[in-house]
Structure formats: structure tokens, C-alpha cells
């Protein structure tokens, strides 16, 4: 009888060890799977950004302007200004107008936010610059002149923008105590000619109207946008953010277009 009790105790200890090992293996497998899912999501978002950027440039070549954002609530229209004629000046942030760009409209969680520079003196959707500033070989002189105006314009938070850290300062790392950098923080304000924001896995779990987007991008991802601030392209992924931003400056877009005319 005494030997039987010892045997039972040994089996219970052995079972406890096995359960503990299984729990560790399950935890490791879950972490590996989540890392794989995040890596795959990041790669897919990067591919969507590249395709969308090329589609916008093709649109610019054809139409001599940048596309108007899709103003429909969830981007279901897939067309400029939600399929409504015209593009009011205040519409500088919305969804990427997939169908207007010749792209297939993806499911909602994969849709890209699109921002474009549009001011009274430099509206890249409806260019009205003086064409005499540039040779007009293909009808693009107004767009070129408007890009030049946007390039010379002072930085402002009244247009879609992102913040860069001060010179020679790396982008601050996120920590649980400091999960994001404020849009009104210290640093240089950058107004791109256009920008694209691709959501990843909703790392911050904020949900709501901007489900899928993270931290700094939650406000610009609402429709209509409640902020014109976006995470900068240089921002690294973190435990609360895996969105990706692609931005094209007026300077680089102007250089690219003038090189095509040579």
C-alpha cells in the first residue's frame, strides 16, 4: 500500500511536468504563428502600396493631375469623390479611388487611405498654375507649375502632413509607457504631394471607425478624417503599429514628370 501511494505521487508529478512542457510549447507556437502572421501582413501591405503608387503615377501621366480621394464612407465606391462629379477643395483625404485608377477594389480591411495636397494656391487635383513656366509638350504644364507652387509653399498642418524628428535624431522607439509620438511634437513638418497609408493587423486593437489602422493613423483614417496627421514613412513597426506609409514629395514628383518630357 505504501509503495502504491509513492507510485501515484510520482505519476502526478510527471503529469504536472508534461502539462507544463505542453503549455510552453503551445505558447512558443502561438508566438511564432503571430510573428508569421504579422510578417505576412506587412509584406502584403507593402505590395499593395507599391501597386497603388504605380497606379497613381500612371493616372498622372494620363490625366495631368492627381486623383481626387474617394469620399464614400468606407471606400465602397472606389471612385473619385465617391462617384460624384467634381472634387471640392476641402476633400484632401479619403480612400484610394481604386476603380478610377484601374485597380480592383479590395475587401474593406485592406483598403488604403489616400491624402493629396490641395490648397487655394496649389491644388494638385485641379491644377491651375501658369502653363508658361514650363514647356507644354504633353499638356502637363499646369500640373508642373502647381507642383512647383506646392514645393515652394511653407510647411503647414493645414494640409496632410507628418512629422520628422529633429536633424540627426532617430525616430523615437515606442514603449508601453510612451506608445506613440504626438503629431504636434518637436520636429519638421512635411507636406507630401500625395501619401498612401496601408493598414496591417490592427496592432493597437482600437477598432471603431478606423479599424485596422494604428495609433497616429487612427484620426486620419476616419471618414471624414478628424486629423490631417499621419505616421511618417520612416516610422518603424512596433508592438502597437504595423501600418505602412508611402509619401511622394512635390519635388520628387516634379522631377519625375520633367524627366519624362525630355
As given in the structure block, the three cell numbers for residue 112 are 488604403
Q: Name the percent of the chain lying above pLDDT 70.
A: 80
Enclosing H/E stretch for 115: strand 113-116
Count of CB atoms situated within 10 Å of the CB of 28: 10
pLDDT at 194 > cutoff 50? yes
Q: What is the pLDDT of residues 203-228, one digit of tens each?
A: 888 877 778 898 889 999 999 999 99
pTM of this structure: 0.83
Distance CA 195, CA 242 (A): 16
Q: What is the pLDDT of residues 21-45, one digit of tens each?
A: 777 776 666 656 455 566 677 788 8
The answer to whether 52 and 196 are in contact (CB under 8 A) is yes
Distance CA 194, CA 250 (A): 8
Q: Is 262 helix (H, G, I), strand (E, B) or coil?
A: coil
Distance CA 227, CA 220 (A): 5
Supply the pLDDT for residue 168. 72
Between 67 and 136, residue with greater pLDDT: 67
Between 207 and 259, residue with greater pLDDT: 259
Q: Is 58 helix (H, G, I), strand (E, B) or coil?
A: helix
Supply the pLDDT for residue 181. 61
As given in the structure block, the three cell numbers for residue 145 are 507649375
Mean model confidence pLDDT for the chain? 85
Supply the pLDDT for residue 6. 47
Between 36 and 117, residue with greater pLDDT: 117
Supply the pLDDT for residue 130. 66
Q: Name the percent of the chain lying above pLDDT 90.
A: 54
The winner for highest mean pLDDT among 75-89, 137-151, 170-184, 233-247 is 75-89
- When pLDDT is cut at 50, 70 and 90, the band that residue 172 belongs to is low
pLDDT at 54 > cutoff 90? yes
Residue in 158, 143, 154, 134 with CA at minimum distance from that of residue 229: 158
Distance CA 197, CA 64 (A): 23
Amino acid at each position: 500500500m505504501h509503495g502504491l501511494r509513492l507510485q501515484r505521487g510520482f505519476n502526478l508529478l510527471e503529469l504536472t511536468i508534461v502539462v507544463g512542457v505542453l503549455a510552453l510549447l503551445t505558447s512558443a507556437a502561438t508566438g511564432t504563428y503571430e510573428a508569421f502572421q504579422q510578417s505576412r501582413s506587412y509584406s502584403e501591405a507593402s505590395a499593395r502600396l507599391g501597386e497603388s503608387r504605380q497606379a497613381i503615377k500612371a493616372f498622372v501621366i494620363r490625366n495631368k493631375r492627381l486623383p481626387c480621394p474617394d469620399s464614400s464612407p468606407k471606400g465602397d465606391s472606389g471612385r473619385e469623390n465617391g462617384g460624384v462629379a467634381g472634387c471640392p477643395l476641402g476633400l484632401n483625404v479619403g480612400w484610394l479611388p481604386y476603380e478610377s485608377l484601374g485597380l480592383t477594389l479590395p475587401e474593406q480591411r485592406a483598403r488604403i487611405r489616400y491624402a493629396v495636397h490641395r490648397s487655394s494656391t496649389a491644388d494638385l487635383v485641379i491644377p491651375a498654375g501658369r502653363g508658361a513656366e514650363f514647356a507644354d509638350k504633353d499638356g502637363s504644364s499646369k500640373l508642373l507649375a502647381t507642383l512647383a507652387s506646392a514645393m515652394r509653399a511653407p510647411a503647414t498642418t493645414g494640409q496632410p502632413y507628418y512629422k520628422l524628428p529633429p536633424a540627426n535624431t532617430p525616430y523615437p522607439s515606442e514603449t508601453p509607457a510612451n506608445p506613440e509620438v504626438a503629431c504636434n511634437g518637436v520636429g519638421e513638418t512635411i507636406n507630401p504631394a500625395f501619401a498612401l497609408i496601408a493598414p496591417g493587423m490592427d496592432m493597437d486593437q482600437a477598432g471603431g471607425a478606423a479599424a485596422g489602422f494604428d495609433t497616429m493613423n487612427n484620426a486620419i483614417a476616419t471618414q471624414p478624417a478628424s486629423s490631417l496627421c499621419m505616421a511618417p514613412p520612416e516610422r518603424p513597426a512596433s508592438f502597437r503599429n504595423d501600418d505602412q506609409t508611402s509619401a511622394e514629395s512635390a519635388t520628387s514628383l516634379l522631377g519625375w514628370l520633367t524627366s519624362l518630357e525630355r
